[in-house]
């Protein structure tokens, strides 16, 4: 495991060999090899990709398409598998927060998109993560009467519950869990969202419907099934743990049992 030493005083430049995935939507893709000289060890991985793209544009070639937005490690847009590891070799960071000091001079770096059936490649390193949006649309919210801000202390939340919910809420929905999972499963993501909302008092009225709907949508989107290997936790840039999957399983199985034994209503007389 590579350690990020934050020593900016020892800045060097790297000469790299890059194998980057090139693909157009609906067509087969392939790796392209490029040499890139003079990459500062203080550059972020995305800045290195910017350098590569600038070089390609200067040479009259097409730049690589890749997702990025905040470049602060909080938006969840960047999404590259670097040398087989989603978000690269440094645990606990997103690609934008990965710096080139974590690579060696002369190293060959393989950059490819998230690989999963539910994340089809849009172009080069960009994938369609709308499967996650559909999961959220199916239950990743609470239904409240929107209006003026409620009284802050009207709904007390115990500190340990609030801490656990906020730990789960750290998930930025980047999809590294799916990309790292040997089964293409999204259960760390879905577990984080279900745990976050189902722990809080505001999430209680829809607790069972939420978990049933989100798991149904997750299955329909073509994600795989968790086999409890823990690769997702090891690659999650936000340190979400398998606890959320255990919570998801518990809530889901409980909701199914409750639905199975739910009241069938009053006995109707005189036909139905």
Partner 1 sequence: MSTPSCNSALSSIGKKAVMALTGLVLVGFILGHLSGNLLFFKGPEVLNAYAQWLHENAALIWTARITLIVSVIAHIVAGISLTLENRAARAGGPAVEQTRRASWGSLTMPYTGLVVLGFIVFHLLHYTFQSVALGGQTFPLASNPAFTDVHAMLVAGFSHSGVSAFYIISLALLSLHLSHGVSSTFQTLGLRNERWRGRLDVLAVAFGWIVFLGFSAIPVSVLAGCIK
- Cβ neighbours of residue 235 under 8 Å, at least 6 residues apart? 85, 86, 87, 91, 176, 177, 179, 180
Of residues 13 and 234, the one with the C-beta less far from partner 1: 234
- The pair of structure tokens assigned to 198 is 């189902």
DSSP states along 57-126: HHTT-PPPP---S-SSS-S----EEETTEET-SSTT--GGG-BGGGS-TT-EEEEEE---TTS-EEETTE
Of residues 44 through 103, those in contact with partner 1 by CB under 8 A are 81, 83-85, 91
Contact (Cβ atoms closer than 8 angstroms) between residue 30 and residue 22: yes
x/- binding map, residues 154-193, to partner 1, per CB under 8 A?
Answer: -------------------------xxxxxxx-x------
CA distance 157 to 124: 45
Tell me the closest approach of the beta carbon of residue 42 to partner 1, in angstroms: 25
Residue 222 binds to partner 1 (criterion: CB under 8 A): yes
x/- binding map, residues 103-142, to partner 1, per CB under 8 A?
Answer: -------x-x--xxxx-------------------xx-x-
Residue 234 binds to partner 1 (criterion: CB under 8 A): yes
Of residues 10 and 30, the one with the C-beta less far from partner 1: 30
Quick one: which of 128, 133, 170, 243 contacts partner 1 (CB under 8 A)?
A: 243
- The pair of structure tokens assigned to 105 is 């001079």
Quick one: which of 212, 237, 238, 240 contacts partner 1 (CB under 8 A)?
A: 212
DSSP summary character for residue 31: E
CA distance 151 to 165: 20
Residue 156: CA count within 13 A, CB half-sphere = 2
Using CB under 8 A, which of the segments 34-42, 93-101, 193-201, 207-215 binds partner 1? Answer: 207-215
Quick one: which of 77, 231, 238, 240 contacts partner 1 (CB under 8 A)?
A: 231
Quick one: which of 5, 8, 227, 258 contacts partner 1 (CB under 8 A)?
A: 227
CA distance 3 to 92: 11
Residue 193: CA count within 13 A, CB half-sphere = 26
> In the complex, which residues of this chain contact partner 1 (CB under 8 A)?
31, 81, 83-85, 91, 110, 112, 115-118, 138-139, 141, 143, 179-185, 187, 206, 209-210, 212-213, 215-216, 218-219, 222-231, 233-235, 241-243, 245-254, 256, 259-260
């Amino acid at each position: 495991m590579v350690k990020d030493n934050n020593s900016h005083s020892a800045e060097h430049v790297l000469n790299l060999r890059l194998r980057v995935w090139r693909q157009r939507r609906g067509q087969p893709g392939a790796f392209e090899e490029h040499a890139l000289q003079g990459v500062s060890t203080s550059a972020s991985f995305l800045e290195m990709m910017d350098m590569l793209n600038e070089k390609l544009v200067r040479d009259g070639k097409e730049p690589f398409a890749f997702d990025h937005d905040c470049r602060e490690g909080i938006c969840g847009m960047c999404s590259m598998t670097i040398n087989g590891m989603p978000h690269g070799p440094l645990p606990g960071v997103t690609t934008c927060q990965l710096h080139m000091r974590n690579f060696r001079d002369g190293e060959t770096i393989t950059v490819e998109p998230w690989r999963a059936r539910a994340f089809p490649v849009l172009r080069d390193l960009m994938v369609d993560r709308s499967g996650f949006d559909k999961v959220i649309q199916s239950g990743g919210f609470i239904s409240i009467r929107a209006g003026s801000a409620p009284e802050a202390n009207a709904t007390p939340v115990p500190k340990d519950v609030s801490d656990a919910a906020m730990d789960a809420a750290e998930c930025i929905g980047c999809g590294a869990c799916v990309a790292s999972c040997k089964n293409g499963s999204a259960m760390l993501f879905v577990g984080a969202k279900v745990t976050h909302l189902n722990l809080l008092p505001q999430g209680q009225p829809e607790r069972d419907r939420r978990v049933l709907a989100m798991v149904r949508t997750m299955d329909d989107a073509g994600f795989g099934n968790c086999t409890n290997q823990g690769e997702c936790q090891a690659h999650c840039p936000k340190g979400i743990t398998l606890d959320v999957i255990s919570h998801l399983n518990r809530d889901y199985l409980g909701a199914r049992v409750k639905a199975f034994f739910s009241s069938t209503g009053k006995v109707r007389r005189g036909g139905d």
